[in-house]
Structure 1
Amino acid sequence: MTSKEFKIFRSRLDRTQKEMAQLLGISIKAVHSYEQGWRKIPGHVERQIYFLLSRTLQRTGEKKKCWDLLQCPEEQMNQCPAYEFKSGDVCWFVNGTRCGGKTHGSWDKKMEECRSCDVFLALFDDMQGS
């Protein structure tokens, strides 16, 4: 997540810097640093922001499930926590997902793939870099 995206998402959540710090359980100084680009936004902060945004976005129609969109084989689905917990619309939030048949070693690696996935883009693409 870039500093520009952090600012945009804070605005979409309708929070001041102080309120955002309280919501994320971080210092206001950290919020300032993220927005100025002085510090890298940690994965746990990015993950929480995306989760909060996903809960506030109003989407119509049926939520797309990752295993349907990606046409996952049954064996792969049965080993995937997103499928196990019926979270195919928030698979990007669930660690240990089996995208492409493999798990990801870190949040950063996972998000590299998620940022180009139709499930993630259906929620967030219109917000990226607005």
Structure 2
Amino acid sequence: WRTIPAHAERQLLFLTAKKAEILKPAKPCWVVNKCSETLKAMCPAWEFQAGSLCWFINGTICKGLIHKDWREKIEICKQCKAFPKILKSMMNAPDSRSEPTRDFQNKPSATTSLK
């Protein structure tokens, strides 16, 4: 199977968070992570007052670093206390596509004779 494209993964996480109404954590990310005034001034999550969507916003400065792409960023976000728990569990769920099921393996193919 192919990996999920970053833009699709990002949108799925956002829509899941929106549907589950978990976009408002108890504290914004800059409080949870104790960001300095200097980091906050450079970070778009602070600029847009979107401390519950920091994981969704490109260009955020997590752990004092600007991340080069979504894959790098989301790996750090998954370790963060500000990242919604439901999204952590969703992203860490086992991939059910990794092995065919027993039923699928035992079904005749379209080219198999049924006689």
TM-score, scaled to structure 1 = 0.64
1:92 to 52, 55, 71: 55
RMSD: 1.8
Higher helix share: 1
Work out whether 1:117 is the aligned partner of 2:65.
Answer: no
* Matched residue SS, 1:119: coil
Q: Which runs of 5+ in 2 are unaligned?
A: 95-115
AA aligned opposite 1:106: D
User: Larger Rg: 1 or 2?
Assistant: 2
Distance in 2 (alpha carbons) for counterparts of 1:102 and 1:123? 25
Following superposition, the deviation at residue 62 of structure 1 comes to 5.4
* Matched residue SS, 1:116: coil
Q: Which runs of 5+ in 1 are unaligned?
A: 1-37
Residue of structure 2 in register with 1:70 after alignment: 33
Work out whether 1:108 is the aligned partner of 2:71.
Answer: yes
Distance in 1 (alpha carbons) for counterparts of 2:76 and 2:50? 17
Alpha carbons of 1:123 and 1:68: their partners in 2 closer, same or farther (altered >3 Å)? Answer: farther
AA aligned opposite 2:33: L
Identity of aligned residues (%): 40
For these two proteins, the number of residue pairs brought into alignment is 92
* Matched residue SS, 1:93: coil
* Matched residue SS, 1:89: coil
Following superposition, the deviation at residue 58 of structure 1 comes to 3.2
Following superposition, the deviation at residue 40 of structure 1 comes to 0.9
